[in-house]
Structures are given as structure tokens and as C-alpha cells.
């Protein structure tokens, strides 16, 4: 009997030791925890915040303090489209179709990158911060896109749209304080939502390209014609200046001639009058036969006959010399 009691006591002692060791192991495991580089740990006790721990090993009071680990890395989500199991993107019309400032519908997809900035606010300020972030992003996208035309949203205005949406999301997240921040938001794709609208849009784009081509051709023609017109205008101006200078010189010459003649007239009025008369007759009637007489001579000999006889005699002499 004593041996049986001794054996049963040994077994009971071994069980007690095992239970104690088990409790020690459980307490040790419950007292220590490790936080990775990509995480933050929020420690609470009786529902109250105790502290926030970063990467490394840490200690807590077992069964009293609780630890919730939060991933602090960057995550991404599609806005306006969903990814199927095969990896194909499908449009979500209620999220992706926007209206532009020129009252066109546009199917525009975004990719939002975000991360947790405050793990305490992320855990305790709202039940579903990701859903709130998605709603804020959709509201911000619609607020910004409606200020741009469909052409700008599909081409030149993309960078500005992204920048404005990011700033608006950041402002809204700061006001709601859900412990999250936007890292980046980019436009993945933008196109009209239906085939009919796509065809019409392509026609508009083709017309715009044709208009741009015609405009460029007109500018090229303008650039070619303007130098020619300017050169012709310069030539006209130069010719006018030359004629102006010639007219002024001619007028000045006539003035000088008149002044010289007037000086002679003051010295010898009669002779000057006669000279002017003869010069004027000579200019007006260059072929007029001139007969000089003193008014008393009865017989007048024409100078033309004497000059013709002299010319004939000179011609005969020249023939004899030859």
C-alpha cells in the first residue's frame, strides 16, 4: 500500500510540475511579442491605449494587455475597375463613369496608393477606414474631373487632375482623421464609355487634327508670303524715296537756275528776255526755220540753202580724197 501511495504521489507531483511548466511557457509566450520592420504594434489594457511599439521584441502583461499589429507598408486599390480572378480588368460603371465640364461622359480609371500613417487612429477612429478612403477618393475624383473638358481629361490635363485629386484626398483624410494617408494616385485609362461615343470621339479627334493641319499649312503660307510682301513693300518705299530725292534735287536745281537767271535779268533785262524767248522757241518748235533780218532788208536769203550747198561741197571733197 505504501508503494502505491508513493507511486501515486510521484505521478501527482509530476503532473503539478508539468502544469506549472506549461503555465510558465504560456505566460512567457504571452509576455513577449515581436514586431517586424513593416509593422507597428498598438498595446491596450482594459480598452485603454498604453503605447505604440515599432520594430523589435517587446514585453506586455499577459492576459491583461492586448497587442494589435498594423501593417504600415504601401497598398494599392483600383478605382473605377475591378480585377477578375484571371487578372483581367473590368469596368465598374458606377465608379468609373464621370461627367466632364463640357457635359460628356468619360470612363476613367485610377490606381490609388495609400498607407497607414497613424495606427491608433486607424484602429479606433472608424470601423472600416479602407471603405471611408475609397468613398473619399471617389468624391474627390468626381469633384475634380467635372472641372475639365473631355479632351483635357484624356490628354493634356491628366497630370493636373492627378495632382488636384491627391491634394483634395489629403485634405479630406486630415479632416476625418482615420489614420491613413495617400501616397499617389494615377490615371490608368480614360476613354468614352460606349462604342458609339468612341466612334464619335474619334471623328472629332480626326476633325481636330485636320483643323490643326490646315492651320499649320496656313501659318506656313503666311510665313512664306509675309517676307515677300515685306520685301515688295520695302522696294516700293525705296523707289518712292528715290523719286522723292530726285524730285527734290530737280526742284532745287530749277530754283538755283531761276535764281541765276533772275540775277542776270536784273543786270540786263532786255537781253535776258530775248534769250529766254529764243530758248523757249527753240524748245517748243525745234524744226522751225530761222531767218535773221534787221527789218529793213528787202531781199532775204534762206540759211537752209547755204547750209545745204556747203554740205554738198564737203561731201564731194571727201569722195575725191578717197
* pLDDT per position as a tens digit, 195-222: 766 677 678 778 888 888 899 888 888 8
Q: DSSP letter for 193, please.
A: S
Pairing of strands 97-99, 81-83: unpaired
The pLDDT tens digits of the residues spanning 83-107 come to 777 767 777 878 888 889 988 888 8
Number of other CB atoms surrounding residue 98 within 10 Å: 22
Model pTM score: 0.55
Q: DSSP letter for 22, please.
A: H
* Residues 71 and 116 sit within 8 Å (Cβ to Cβ): yes
Around 52, how many Cα atoms within 13 Å sit in the side-chain half-sphere? 11
- Taken in order 145, 149, 155, 160, the sign of the CA dihedral is negative
Does residue 315 carry a pLDDT above 60? no
Torsion of CA 200, 160, 90, 134, to 10 degrees: -140
Distance from C-alpha of 191 to C-alpha of 150, rounded to nearest angstrom:
9
DSSP codes joined into one string, 98-152: EE-TTS-EEEEEEEEEEEES-HHHHHHS-S-HHHHHHHHHHHHHHHHHTTS-HHH
Can you list the domains of the chain with their CATH numbers? 2-69 (no CATH), 75-193 (3.30.479.30)
Q: DSSP letter for 288, please.
A: P
Distance from C-alpha of 92 to C-alpha of 110, rounded to nearest angstrom:
12
Backbone angles phi, psi at 39, to 5 degrees: -125, 160
The pLDDT tens digits of the residues spanning 132-175 come to 999 999 999 999 999 999 889 988 899 999 999 999 999 999 99
Amino acid at each position: 500500500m505504501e508503494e502505491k501511495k508513493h507511486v501515486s504521489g510521484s505521478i501527482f507531483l509530476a503532473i503539478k510540475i508539468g502544469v506549472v511548466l506549461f503555465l510558465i511557457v504560456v505566460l512567457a509566450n504571452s509576455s513577449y511579442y515581436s514586431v517586424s520592420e513593416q509593422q507597428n504594434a498598438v498595446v491596450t489594457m482594459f480598452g485603454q491605449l498604453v503605447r505604440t511599439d515599432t520594430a523589435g521584441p517587446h514585453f506586455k502583461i499577459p492576459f491583461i494587455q492586448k497587442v494589435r499589429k498594423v501593417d504600415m507598408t504601401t497598398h494599392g486599390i483600383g478605382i473605377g475597375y475591378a480585377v477578375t480572378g484571371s487578372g483581367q480588368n473590368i469596368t465598374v460603371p458606377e465608379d468609373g463613369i464621370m461627367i466632364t465640364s463640357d457635359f460628356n461622359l468619360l470612363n476613367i480609371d485610377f490606381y490609388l496608393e495609400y498607407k497607414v500613417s497613424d495606427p491608433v487612429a486607424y484602429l479606433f477612429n472608424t470601423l472600416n477606414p479602407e471603405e471611408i478612403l475609397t468613398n473619399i477618393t471617389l468624391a474627390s475624383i468626381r469633384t475634380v474631373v467635372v472641372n475639365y473638358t473631355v479632351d483635357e481629361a484624356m490628354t493634356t490635363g491628366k497630370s493636373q487632375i492627378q495632382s488636384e485629386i491627391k491634394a483634395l484626398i489629403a485634405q479630406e483624410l486630415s479632416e476625418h482623421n482615420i489614420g491613413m494617408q495617400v501616397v499617389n494616385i494615377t490615371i490608368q485609362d480614360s476613354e468614352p464609355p460606349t462604342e458609339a461615343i468612341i466612334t464619335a470621339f474619334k471623328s472629332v479627334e480626326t476633325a481636330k487634327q485636320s483643323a490643326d493641319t490646315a492651320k499649320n499649312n496656313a501659318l506656313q503660307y503666311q510665313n512664306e508670303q509675309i517676307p515677300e510682301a515685306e520685301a515688295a513693300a520695302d522696294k516700293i518705299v525705296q523707289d518712292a524715296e528715290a523719286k522723292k530725292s530726285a524730285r527734290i534735287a530737280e526742284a532745287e536745281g530749277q530754283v538755283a537756275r531761276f535764281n541765276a537767271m533772275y540775277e542776270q535779268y536784273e543786270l540786263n533785262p532786255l537781253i535776258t528776255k530775248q534769250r529766254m524767248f529764243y530758248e523757249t522757241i527753240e524748245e517748243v518748235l525745234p524744226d522751225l526755220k530761222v531767218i535773221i533780218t534787221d527789218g529793213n532788208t528787202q531781199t532775204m536769203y534762206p540759211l537752209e540753202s547755204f547750209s545745204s550747198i556747203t554740205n554738198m561741197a564737203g561731201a564731194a571733197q571727201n569722195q575725191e580724197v578717197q
